[in-house]
């Protein structure tokens, strides 16, 4: 089992990770990752892999991506010194403001990058799947920008729960298909999106929303999201006078955290902490703390940690934040956990909501509930590391969470 990896193996794997050797030729991050897909998808994934290697290094592609990030997404996003939180926590707290990126979160970095890649690969249309709707909105916006038709599959239950995001996607010109089969949530939507892609793997591009799925997606999404960590690293040096002592990011599928952590992995003195959704507590079914409480297995085309029962059945998950409510996690995180380079822990629903309230009052920023999980852990760390420099990835803004906040933090208030 991953967590029982021998120290010697862990050291060697971490050295390989730092040397940039992962994913290897088989699409693996040590024992994790790979490609567990139907035979019909292999040629499409091979073509995608060749395209990723070609275009991500192509100067004209890179220039066009950087232009879109600067003039349409709004990058670089600022680094904010959280003055009041710093005074209260007894540490210097800095916030990387992905909430200020277009559409309100880091997801747009990935969506615009993959949509540009799809064009280069000759795709005529995009398919995506979405749970809470945030990735669907980012995909719809990127496709509108580039003139690509976009179909978003969404579980029928989620289309009801996330009606405002369905409206946003429609305004942005996407076709939203409610999926009535299976569990009628994210997993059913993923199955439908894959089915659509298999039907026309040449003309259709499958735009995945996190560092998950079969190779090369975890690598591709990581490369598109590391702009977060690269900017933050330079901004810390300039504004804070040095690298952070610790970096915190929330972990759902793992894309904002991977994008933030990856440029710091070689800086062994920088503590990296991934914060999962602890939900109502540690009981199976009450949380989405995949790395902290899961076991390895195969989900969505890759071998990684996942939440499953003793028979290997994928477990129902719970979190107050829709964006963290997912039973799997990207394979590179499983490696970073097994090697001990990143520490993973969880914050509960209540701890996260409390942290969100504190950030609103102290800094004038309504964070997404997802991001608030990172604040909850950072605050605990500050208590035992006085005077340290802390960097938090503020992955998104909380406007989308108002219905949940009305029912929780604002409950009973006039």
Ligand X SMILES: *Cc1c(COP(=O)(O)O)cnc(C)c1O
CB atoms within 10 A of CB 3: 13
Q: What tokens were used for 74?
A: 């709004």
Residue 255, interface with ligand X (CB under 6 A)? yes
Tell me, yes or no, if 68 is annotated catalytic: no
Kindly tell me which residue out of 107, 168, 379, 389 binds ligand X, with binding defined by CB under 6 A. Answer: 107
Query: Should residue 158 be labelled a site residue for ligand X when binding is judged by CB under 6 A?
Result: no
Regarding 300 and contact with ligand X (CB under 6 A), the answer is no
Among 345, 351, 370, 401, interactor with ligand X by CB under 6 A: 370
278 binds ligand X (CB under 6 A): no
Q: How many residues bind ligand X (CB under 6 A)?
A: 19
Tokens coding 347: 């914050």
Report d(CA 263, CA 257) in Å as an integer: 11
Please report the sign of the dihedral spanned by the C-alpha atoms of residue 177, residue 179, residue 180, residue 184: negative
Q: Give yes or no for residue 133 binding ligand X (CB under 6 A).
A: no
Please name the residues in contact with 346: beta carbons below 8 A apart, sequence gap of 6 or more: 275, 276, 277, 278, 287, 289, 292, 293, 373
Catalytic residue among 17, 98, 129, 332: 129
**Residue listed under structure tokens 């989620």:** 158
Active-site residue flag, 388: no
Q: Between 201 and 252, whose beta carbon lies closer to ligand X?
A: 252
Closer by beta carbon to ligand X, 277 or else 382: 277
Residue 345 in tokens? 């822990």
Q: How far is the CB of 108 from ligand X (least distance, A)?
A: 10
| Minimum distance, C-beta of residue 212 to ligand X, in the bound complex (Å) | 8
407 carries an active-site annotation = no
**349 or 370, CB closer to ligand X?**
370
Q: Which residues of 118-147 are buried (b: 16+ CB within 10 A; e: fewer)?
A: bbebebebbbbbbbbbbbbbbbbbbbbbee
For residue 59, what are the CA distances in angstroms to 47, 55, 90, 170, 197?
20, 8, 45, 34, 29
Q: Which of 255, 371, 395, 400 is catalytic?
A: 395
Task: List Cβ neighbours of 235 (8 Å cut-off, separation of 6 or more).
Answer: 76, 78, 79, 94, 96
Strands in 150-155's sheet, in edge-to-edge order, are 175-179, 150-155, 125-130, 204-206
Measured distance CA(59)–CA(178) in Å, rounded = 39
Minimum CB–partner distance for residue 139 and ligand X (Å): 12
Tokens standing for residue 130: 């979405």
Under rule CB under 6 A, residue 222 binds ligand X: no
Residues in a beta bridge with 126: 150, 205
Which residue from 34, 76, 214, 254 is in contact with ligand X, where contact means CB under 6 A? Answer: 254
Compute CA 331 distance to the chain's CA centroid, rounded to the nearest angstrom: 12
Under the binding rule (CB under 6 A), the answer on residue 323 touching ligand X is yes
Catalytic position from the list 96, 107, 119, 400: 107
Contact region for ligand X (CB under 6 A) — 23-31, 166-174, 247-255, 406-414?
247-255
> Is residue 78 a contact partner of residue 97, using CB atoms and an 8 Å limit?
yes
Among 252, 294, 327, 328, binds ligand X (CB under 6 A): 252
Per CB under 6 A, the list member of 210, 304, 352, 377 interacting with ligand X is 210
Query: Considering beta carbons, is residue 11 or 167 the nearer one to ligand X?
Result: 167
Q: 5 vs 346, which CB is nearer to ligand X?
A: 346
Is the distance from CB of 257 to CB of 229 less than 8 angstroms?
Answer: no
Classify residue 78 by its DSSP letter.
P
Minimum CB distance to ligand X smaller for 10 or for 314: 314
Of residues 37, 44, 100, 105, which one binds ligand X by CB under 6 A?
105
> d(Cα 183, Cα 190) in Å, to the nearest integer?
11
Q: Which residues pair with 97 in a beta bridge?
A: 394
Site string for ligand X, 4-43 (x = CB under 6 A): ----------------------------------------
- Stretch of 34-42, 80-88, 171-179, 252-260 contacting ligand X, by CB under 6 A: 252-260
CA 176 to chain centre: 22
Tell which positions 42-81 bind ligand X, by CB under 6 A: none
Among 304, 339, 352, 395, binds ligand X (CB under 6 A): 395
- Interface with ligand X by CB under 6 A: which range of 113-121, 157-165, 197-205, 245-253? 245-253
Q: Would you please indicate which residues are annotated as catalytic (active-site) residues?
A: 107, 129, 395
Residues that bind ligand X in the complex, under the rule CB under 6 A: 105, 107, 134, 210, 250-257, 323-324, 368, 370-371, 395-396
């Amino acid at each position: 089992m991953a967590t029982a990896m021998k120290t010697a193996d862990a050291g060697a794997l971490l050295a390989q990770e730092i040397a940039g050797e992962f994913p290897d030729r088989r699409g693996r991050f040590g024992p994790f990752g790979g490609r567990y897909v139907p035979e019909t998808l292999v040629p499409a994934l091979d073509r995608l892999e060749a395209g990723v290697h070609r275009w991500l290094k192509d100067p004209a592609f890179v220039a066009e991506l950087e232009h879109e990030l600067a003039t349409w997404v709004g990058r670089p996003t600022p680094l904010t010194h959280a003055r009041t939180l710093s005074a209260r926590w007894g540490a210097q707290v800095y916030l990387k403001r992905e909430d200020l990126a277009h559409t309100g979160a880091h997801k747009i970095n990935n969506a615009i990058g993959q949509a540009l890649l799809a064009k280069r690969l000759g795709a005529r249309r995009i398919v995506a799947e979405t749970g809470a709707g945030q990735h669907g909105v980012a995909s719809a916006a990127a496709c509108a920008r580039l003139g690509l038709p976009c179909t978003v599959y969404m579980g029928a239950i989620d289309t009801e729960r996330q009606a405002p995001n369905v409206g946003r996607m429609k305004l942005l010109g996407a076709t939203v298909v409610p999926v009535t089969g299976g569990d009628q949530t994210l997993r059913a939507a993923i199955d439908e999106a894959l089915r659509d892609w298999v039907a026309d793997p040449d003309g259709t591009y499958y735009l995945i929303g996190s560092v998950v799925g079969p190779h090369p997606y975890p690598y591709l999404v990581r490369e598109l999201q590391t702009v977060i960590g690269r900017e933050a690293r330079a901004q810390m040096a300039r504004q804070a006078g040095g690298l952070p002592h610790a970096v915190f990011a929330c972990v759902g599928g793992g894309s904002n955290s991977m994008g933030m952590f990856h440029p710091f992995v070689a800086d062994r003195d920088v503590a990296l902490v991934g914060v999962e959704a602890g939900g109502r507590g540690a009981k199976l079914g009450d949380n989405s703390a995949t790395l902290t409480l899961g076991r390895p297995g195969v989900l969505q085309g890759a071998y990684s940690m996942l939440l499953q029962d003793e028979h290997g059945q994928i477990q129902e998950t719970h979190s107050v934040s829709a964006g963290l409510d997912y039973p799997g996690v990207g394979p590179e995180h499983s490696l970073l956990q097994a090697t001990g380079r990143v520490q993973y822990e969880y914050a509960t629903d209540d701890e996260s909501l409390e942290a969100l309230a504190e950030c609103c009052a102290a800094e004038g920023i309504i964070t997404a509930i997802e991001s608030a999980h990172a604040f909850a852990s950072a605050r605990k760390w500050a208590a035992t590391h006085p005077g340290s420099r802390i960097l938090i990835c503020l992955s998104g803004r909380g406007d989308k969470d108002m219905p949940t906040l009305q029912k929780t933090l604002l409950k009973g208030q006039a």
